[in-house]
Amino acid sequence: MTLDRKALDASVDELGADLSDLSRRIHAHPELCFEERQASAWLGECLERELGAKVERGVGGLETAFRARVGRGSPRIAILAEYDALPEIGHACGHNLIAGSAVGAFLALARQALHFEGSVEIIGTPAEEGGGGKIKLLEAGVFEGIDAAMMFHPFDRDILAHPALCSMRIAMTYVGVPAHAAAAPFAGKSALTACMETFRLIDSQRVHFRDGVRVHGIISNGGQAVNVIVEHAASEFTLRAATSAELERVKGIVLRCARAAAMAGDVSVSFTEKPGYREMRNNLTMARRFGAALEALGRNARETDTRVGAGSTDMGDLSLHLPSIHPYLAICDEGESLCHEHRFADCAASDRGMSTMLVAAKAMARTALDLLEDPKLFGEVRREFEAARG
């Protein structure tokens, strides 16, 4: 039996007011990565109230992660919720809407669970902003046995399969020799000069970067006293590229620049590297099916849009392990604002934000049901994933 998609839409509409309340409450109480206790509790309570079933909390050893499941056996489809905010600018990435849409899609499917084969789960994934929650859950085996994963992300336009860059961080520590900056500057060796020179040398090498590479940094320690030649200085860089091979090459250039700057100033430099997120491998078969669902709901999405840049997400890491999609949907006009801006935080609590959240919930529910009901489609998703893995 093929289930009526309109029943899914109706469930989401029925839950609409509650989902908007929940999303706005999370928006009004922004919590940073791994500290999303309130958001995680509210989401869990909403699921338990509507579902009458137990929500598993603290999955994968992460206090603010959770999971609930309906249906039985395979295939197993996961719908992911994010709910962490950013320092200073709060929910400027709109993760409150990601959370609301995941709950909406999951609950709509839960109401139909007796009528389909396979299972659907909602997984609450903390700390996308810098904490890599999905990577930790992946390592803890939380995604074992899951056949496909999906989520939506708010944006300024509708895009089905936008790239996300792989990334890493490098912290640099410079040590020089202190001296009185006026009485005996010739006796000192400035750690700060080498630190600043690193930025200039990296800029000089940008011409050799491939398209899409991003290298951006801050000085995290520029010295303590203006009358002392700086003994200790430090900087932090994020490096991003479309592929891990290019990222590795760019890393080599960045380290070379830092060493050259240190050599010029006769100071020492040391590095601490921290892996970031992997590049996103969008499953186009799934993304296009999501696009068809969107079209049925009255929205036309482009497959990608080269006029707008890409960021990084821990969904990238997941997408290399199982078929995944991370489509973007507009919560404002094109060009009006992008993620991580004050204006975008306002949009994430607006009526337009809420209505996009509900459209995303419906489109995800429809896509998940398509995957559960259509083994041929599921086979194509799997084949595409295996082919891309090579």
Nearer to Zn ion by C-beta: 92 or 254? 92
304/26 Cα distance (integer angstroms): 30
C-beta nearest to Zn ion: residue:
93
Could you tell me which stretch among 47-55, 90-98, 241-249, 252-260 binds Zn ion (CB under 5 A)?
A: 90-98
Instruction: Compute the least distance from the CB of residue 298 to Zn ion, in Å.
Output: 25
- Tokens read off for 156: 């300024």
Nearer to Zn ion by C-beta: 111 or 134? 134
Using CB under 5 A as the binding rule, whether residue 93 contacts Zn ion is answered as yes
- Tokens read off for 120: 């659907």
Could you tell me which stretch among 91-99, 288-296, 302-310, 371-379 binds Zn ion (CB under 5 A)?
A: 91-99
Instruction: Compute the least distance from the CB of residue 210 to Zn ion, in Å.
Output: 24
Contact yes or no for 212/241 (Cβ under 8 A)? yes
Over the Cα atoms of the chain, what is R_g? 23
Contact flags string 41-80 toward Zn ion, x per CB under 5 A:
----------------------------------------
Could you tell me which stretch among 88-96, 163-171, 342-350, 351-359 binds Zn ion (CB under 5 A)?
A: 88-96
Instruction: Compute the least distance from the CB of residue 161 to Zn ion, in Å.
Output: 16
Runs of H (alpha helix) within 52-186? 95-110, 133-139
Largest pairwise CA distance in the chain:
88
Contact yes or no for 364/79 (Cβ under 8 A)? yes
Instruction: Compute the least distance from the CB of residue 125 to Zn ion, in Å.
Output: 11
Which residue is associated with the tokens 């999905």?
A: 134
Nearer to Zn ion by C-beta: 127 or 201? 127
Q: Which of 36, 63, 61, 56 is nearest to 121 (CA)?
A: 56
Could you tell me which stretch among 85-93, 182-190, 254-262, 265-273 binds Zn ion (CB under 5 A)?
A: 85-93
Contact yes or no for 229/190 (Cβ under 8 A)? yes
Nearer to Zn ion by C-beta: 69 or 153? 153
Contact yes or no for 366/5 (Cβ under 8 A)? yes
- Tokens read off for 239: 């490096």
Using CB under 5 A as the binding rule, whether residue 360 contacts Zn ion is answered as no
Site for Zn ion in 237-266 (CB under 5 A): none
Burial call 224-241: b when 16+ CB within 10 Å, e when fewer: eeeeebbbbbbbbbbbbb
- By CB under 5 A, the count of residues binding Zn ion is 1
Side-chain half-sphere CA neighbours of 259 within 13 A = 7
Nearer to Zn ion by C-beta: 234 or 339? 339
Using CB under 5 A as the binding rule, whether residue 315 contacts Zn ion is answered as no
Instruction: Compute the least distance from the CB of residue 89 to Zn ion, in Å.
Output: 10
Distances (CA, A) of 341 to 152, 165, 258: 19, 20, 31
Instruction: Compute the least distance from the CB of residue 244 to Zn ion, in Å.
Output: 21
Which residues sit at the interface with Zn ion, rule CB under 5 A? 93
